[in-house]
A and B are shown apart, each in its own frame.
Chain A
Amino acid sequence: MAAFDYAPVIVLLPFLSFLVAIGTAIFARGKNVLPKGGALPGIVAMAGALLLSIWMFVTVEAQGAYDQTLYTWASGPGEGTFTLTFGVLVDQLSAMMLVIVTLVSLLVHVFSLGYMNDEDETGLPRYYAGLGLFSASMLGFVVADNLLMAFMFFELVGLCSWLLIGFWFREPGPPSAAKKAFLVTRFGDYFFLIGVVAVFATFGTSQFSPIGGMEAFPVLAEEALTGSAEGINTFGFDAATWFNIVGLLVLGGVVGKSAQFPLHTWLPDAMEGPTPVSALIHAATMVAAGVFLVARMYGFYALIPTTLAIIAFIGGFTALFAATMGVVKREIKQVLAYSTISQYGYMMLALGGGGYVAATFHLMTHAFFKALLFLGAGSVIIAMHHNENMWDMGGLKERMPVTYYTFLSGSLALAGIFPFAGFWSKDEVLYETLVHGLGGSPLLLAAYAMGLLAVFFTGFYTFRMVLLTFHGEPRSETARNPHGVRWNVKGPLVVLGVLAATAGFANLVPVEKLTGANVDFLHDWLYHGPETLNGEHYSTLLHDVAGYTAADFSVLISAAVSLGMALAGVGLAWMLYNDPSPEEHTAKLGAVKDLWYHNYYQDEFQVWLAETGGLGIARGSDKFDQGVVDGVVNGVSSVSLFSGSRVKRVQTGVVSNYAALLTLGVVVLMVALGLYGGWFL
């Protein structure tokens, strides 16, 4: 297993680049020590990590998965205690994710040369240190082999997002956006933390898969539900009920990180950060972490249909909800932000709908096309001298063809147009949900309907964005003479553009259904994981424990319907905006536009909620703290000090008094004990 010995190095390489960059930032301030402000160490580290990840991928294919405890940092003696460890789990899922994360991160590093270095930004070592730590945290999260370790890296990811979103901390917007991102995701993470503790309290372990002497909590949960578990503490609840509670607690962290309703509000604000960071956050690291976590412990979620239905419903709702808001946005990055929320909604929908492979597939394709779109948007933003308003653009098609065609590839993927990547994965998401919904879970059908409707909106806003940005006549002076971009911008765009067009071929389920050719590679890949961590096991669990059954329904009809919806959206956008000087057609929506433009007033609502509810409770607690708690504490302390000052007066300084008190003490004790013991009888 020589290859796997290098698995920790994947995490350590970006961490090393972080150390190098932060060391430079601290010890050589203002001096240009590192070439390219720290980009080169980062690029080298990420390239190394990418190569290692590919090696891991190949090795997993050849030798199967790897799970190894590296360091036990706390262990209790004897029975009934917990062992807390750091371990590395490289199986099919995490190997795939490693490749995605390292690839996107590498491209983001390269792109940053164009976006940050060429624009003469200051504080570059700090920026690259953040990128390095961000990548390292995410990679650590991906290879974590237990829930507690995953939680730690999950939190590190949150910290890094705070650092990077607030990179331009001298401006007013970014620090506040960074705080919002941190606080909102932290809010979800509180539930996650309680969930981790609950998992420990329930199962005594948080391993994802059995290793050494440690059992895995999904396996224990399965045994509990099939009636052969021992030593599981469900705190007086029915096992299934309790597992639902635990699952929902962990889901809190997922909803926060993956920006699902109602904790999605941080993500659009996070656009204040540098665009490459947005690409990293949206495509491969932070937001992906939530969905990946559910996939990682799918063996647990597959046991609890109620939670699955909730996940699916949240996902479907978020997909639609975010897509509608994307329709009316003026800024290119805002549109992309809402599209991210919406697309992660699809992944949640797939997970909830029993489509483990579909979710993973969409996670992969989305990583490529969303990174592409953000980097493309970054390229446009460079060209537009950091003006992000689409109404000031137009006609960029001729002036920046590389960006245009790659961006178009990404947009087609996002909209789900045949044969781009997004088509295959989104289609599979919807298909899985539909067949399981038809198989006897009507709630899934509602979620499916929302997801399907969102396809239309996705097609519309995507091509509204493309048309406004690249087509028509330039609507401003900068759009007429855009700033050029160099190879370091175009290179990543081309790589991702090709991937966005072709990544879908990893799992051609409809083609397989049609022709019988064995081309569902990803499906096969994920079905050959470790015993308790593979797709086949999950589908058995879904069927046997959760009671999901798949109805027989043609994949072609489903694909045709969703493609039709997407084309309708694209077509409408084409009709309205393919115009040399397009109008603001969304204004015709009237009140609905206002509602969408202001994000359903979710921010206002949550602020109101915090101010009325939160502040009220806070004031009450403050009163209680100041009045009752402090009162008691102060009272106790002043009574203590007062009695202390009285008590010490016994010590008069006159030794004769001491002798007298001493004698008195002995006499009192003698009398007391004598009476008690009957000495004088």
Chain B
Amino acid sequence: MSLPSVTATLLQSGGALPEWTALAPTLALALTALALLLVDSISPETKNNALLAGTTAVGSFVSLAFSGWYLAAGTGQSGTGGEIVLYGEALVVDGMYLFFSAIFASVAAMVAIASYDYLAGKEYQGEFYALTMLAATGMTLMASANSLASAFVALELASLPSYALVAFLKKNKGSVEAGLKYFLIGALSSAIFVFGISLVYAVTGSLLFSDVAEALGETELVGVAGVGVLMIAGGFAFKTASVPFHFWAPEAYEGAPAPISGFLSSASKAAGFAVAFRVFVEAFSLSAIPEGINWVILFQILAVVTMTLGNFAAATQDTVKRMLAYSSIGQAGYVLIGLAALAGGASSQNGDVMGAAMAHLFVYGFMNTGAFLFIALTEHWGIGRTFEDFNGLASKAPMACAAMALFMFSLAGLPVGGGFFSKYFLFANAVFAGFWWLAALGAINSALSLFYYSRVVKAMWIEDATSEFEIRSKPVGLYAGIMIAAVGTFLLLPAFGPIIETAQTAASALFGA
């Protein structure tokens, strides 16, 4: 007997473990957050960065290990009895939850390791890590939400710590301004989101996805339901930084501490997509929803506008961090194809497209976090923010610059990292699903993105240094974080097969239910 089948008998479906243990990836993060809060309340002034960062990283790795184990063992997947529904159907554990939890945990681990150096000597470190873990907990809950109520609570659990984290550098004007903008737009968006939920509740009388889908099929209040669906989509658009809810993103990513920028633009964005995928496939299922509420068109508009605006704005930036912020908006546009290239009826293509989008988010978690951690490294060294400031950096820090070049090319979709396959599968599946024009627009935007991504590489590797760099040290934590991201990005090129299979199986299960 192979290992997974042995462990499968130990798991929840076999009755050996209580059902709530299926949430172990979330619980591990939550417990880590509580432990950090405990440390923080016992000695609020502690600057024992190694302990705090170590605890966070270990907690993240434990969560990642649970996700991996459950994915391999088949918890909540069709092989072992299908999804596990918990707490009055408020939460659900299935392949998609585990897949996204793995993304959040990996990103959180990298961020924690990199923050070890980034936060050195700063105050309130305990809070920083605790908030990070709380946000990660919220994200995993977003991926497992099975009712609009839990979706909302989880979304706020992910958002509220994020606001504080963005504004973490209290004496830095940029950080505070970023936090303010993020918070205000977030508050506005969540108000819109809640109002949307209230309208859907008004029409359907329930918040559970399955009940909502059933009731929507029979409703006559198409207009009210439609406005509700649109507003709920707005809430997710805020989380995923999609147009027109993206306005916070450039500033928040630019002003926030760089590890947090990476965390938000990778994990938080993925969380937004996780909950959006589940809500729109299960609650607003295309097979049940009235014809008047055509959210596929909505996402097609959002995808096109988002990828175009993100890439065009990124192309003309002067600072690298802000370029990455805009490019992250553009990447959200690509992932939106996962919702935009869906077709009514039980088409097997739907699962493939959405799975490809999930796989892209997985790869993106590594390459984008890595890119922001590189920015964190330059901030740590006190190097300027513009492209010119990076000139000739490769001669001083070749390893880090090689990793950054890998991230950039992989983000652009060149076959040096997993980004090549994930983008290729995403576009190819869009074409198979009949949405060749979405794929074509995506490809054009990718071509444009190569321009600004390669600007960074050109500055680092080709240009001569305009000023002397004072590189005092090679911070271990930041380097470790960057290298984990680089190795992950690179290995996902040969190892993309299992990722896309897992993602597409998980997504297909969503459609099959």
Q: Which residues of A contact B (CB under 8 A)?
A: 637, 640-641, 643-645, 647-648, 651, 653, 655, 658-659, 661-662, 664-666, 669-670, 672-674, 676-681
Decide if A641 touches B316 in the complex (CB within 8 Å).
Answer: yes
Query: By the criterion CB–CB under 8 Å, are B448 and A659 in contact?
Result: no
A678 x B222 contact (CB < 8 A): yes
State whether A641 and B315 are in contact (beta carbons under 8 Å apart), knowing that A658-B185, A678-B222 are contacts in the complex: yes
In chain B between 206 and 253, which residues have their CB closer than 8 angstroms to a CB of chain A? 222-223, 226-227, 230-231, 234, 243-245, 247-248, 250-251
**Minimum CB distance partner of A665 in chain B:** B244
Contact (Cβ within 8 A) A658 B226: no
Q: Which residues of B contact A (CB under 8 A)?
A: 180-181, 184-185, 188-189, 192, 222-223, 226-227, 230-231, 234, 243-245, 247-248, 250-251, 291-294, 297-298, 301, 309, 312-317, 326, 448, 451
Contact (Cβ within 8 A) B312 A659? no
Known: A647-B312, A666-B231. 15 other contacts (CB 8 A): A640-B315, A644-B313, A648-B312, A651-B251, A655-B185, A658-B247, A659-B184, A662-B188, A662-B245, A664-B244, A670-B227, A673-B298, A674-B223, A677-B222, A679-B223
Assuming the contacts A673-B226, A673-B297, asked whether A678 and B292 have C-beta atoms less than 8 A apart, the reply is: yes
Expressed in whole angstroms, the Cα–Cα distance for A1 and B250 within the complex equals 70
Q: Is the CB of A662 within 8 A of B244?
A: yes
Q: Give min CB distance, B68 to chain A, whole Å.
A: 27
| With A674-B223, A679-B292 as contacts: A644 and B250 at CB distance below 8 Å | no
A-B contact pairs, 6 of them (CB 8 A): A640-B312, A641-B316, A662-B188, A666-B231, A673-B230, A673-B298
When chains A and B are docked, how far (Å) is the Cα of A668 from the Cα of B298?
A: 11
Q: How far is the CB of B71 from chain A (nearest CB, A)?
A: 24
Contacts of A666 in B (CB 8 A): 192, 230-231, 234, 244
Nearest-neighbour CB distance to chain B for A379, whole angstroms, equals: 54
Task: Name the distance in Å between A668's Cβ and chain B's nearest Cβ.
Answer: 8
Given A670-B227, A679-B222, does the pair A644, B244 have CB atoms closer than 8 Å?
A: no
Residues from chain A with a CB closer than 8 A to the CB of B312 are 640, 643-644, 647-648
Tell which of B226, B243, B317, B448 touches A677, judged by Cβ atoms closer than 8 Å: B226
> Roughly how many angstroms separate A674 CA and B224 CA in the complex, as a whole number?
10
> How far does the alpha carbon of A649 sit from the alpha carbon of B292 in the complex, in Å?
35
Does the CB pair A673–B316 fall under 8 Å? no
Out of A644, A648, A651, A676, name the residue touching B294 (CB < 8 Å): A676
- State whether A670 and B185 are in contact (beta carbons under 8 Å apart), knowing that A662-B245, A677-B292 are contacts in the complex: no
Give Cα A647 to B181, complex, Å: 20
- Bound-complex Cα distance A611 to B226 (A): 70
Smallest CB separation, B261 vs chain A (Å): 16
Q: In the docked arrangement, what's the CA distance between A641 and B314, Å?
A: 9
Residues in A neighbouring B316, C-beta threshold 8 A = 641, 644-645, 648
Across the A-B interface, give the 10 residue pairs with the lowest CB-CB distance, nearest first: A665-B244, A679-B223, A677-B292, A658-B247, A644-B312, A648-B313, A644-B316, A644-B315, A645-B316, A679-B226
Contact between B294 and A655, CB atoms less than 8 A apart: no
Q: Which residues of the other chain, A, contact B317 by a CB distance below 8 angstroms?
A: 648
Q: How many Å lie between the Cα of A673 and that of B248 in the bound state?
A: 25
Please tell me if the beta carbons of B451 and A679 are within 8 angstroms of each other in the complex. Answer: no
User: Is A673 in contact with B294, judged by CB distance below 8 angstroms?
Assistant: yes
Number of A-B contacts (CB under 8 A): 88
**CB nearest to B291 among chain A residues:** A677
Distance in angstroms from A647 CB to nearest chain B CB is 5
A669 touches B298 (CB 8 A): yes
Closest Cβ of chain A to B177, distance in Å, is 9
From residue A566, how far is it (CB to closest CB) to chain B in Å?
Answer: 61
A677 surroundings in chain B (CB, below 8 A) = 222, 226, 291-294
Residues of A within 8 A of B448 (CB): 640
Q: How far is the CA of A645 from the CA of B234 in the complex (A)?
A: 26
Chain B residues within 8 Å of A681, by CB: 223
Residues of A within 8 A of B188 (CB): 659, 662
Minimal Cβ-Cβ distance residue in A for B244: A665
Give bound CA distance, A672 to B448, whole Å: 29
Task: State the CA gap A526–B403 with chains docked (Å).
Answer: 58
Question: Nearest Cβ in chain A — how far from B430, in angstroms?
Answer: 22
Find out whether the CB atom of B250 lies under 8 angstroms from the CB atom of A651. Answer: yes
Q: How far is the CA of A452 from the CA of B244 in the complex (A)?
A: 85
> Quick one: closest A residue to B290, CB to CB?
A677
Partner of A651, one of B184, B231, B313: B313
Residue numbers in A under 8 Å from B192 (CB-CB) = 666
Cross-chain contact A661 with B244 (CB below 8 angstroms) = yes
| B residues less than 8 Å from A648 (CB atoms) | 312-313, 316-317, 326
Chain B residue numbers with a CB within 8 Å of A680 are 223
Closest-CB distance, A621 to chain B (whole angstroms): 23
Contacts of A673 in B (CB 8 A): 226, 230, 293-294, 297-298
CA distance in complex: A669, B299 (Å) = 11
Contact A665 B222 (CB under 8 A): no
For B187, the closest partner residue in chain A by CB is A659
CB-defined contacts of B294 to chain A, threshold 8 Å: 673, 676-677
A647 touches B313 (CB 8 A): yes
| Contact assessment for A655 and B184 in the assembled complex, using a CB-CB cutoff below 8 Å | yes
- Which residue on chain A has the smallest CB distance to residue B305? A665
Kindly list chain A residues whose C-beta atoms are within 8 Å of the C-beta of B251: 651, 653
Min Cβ gap A641→B in Å is 6
Q: Output the nearest chain B residue to A657 by Cβ-Cβ distance.
A: B247
Q: Given contacts A662-B185, A673-B230, are A647 and B309 in contact (CB under 8 A)?
A: yes
User: Which B-chain residue is minimally distant from A648 (CB atoms)?
Assistant: B313
The interface centre, meaning the residue of A647, A661, A664 with most chain B CB atoms within 10 A of its CB, is A647
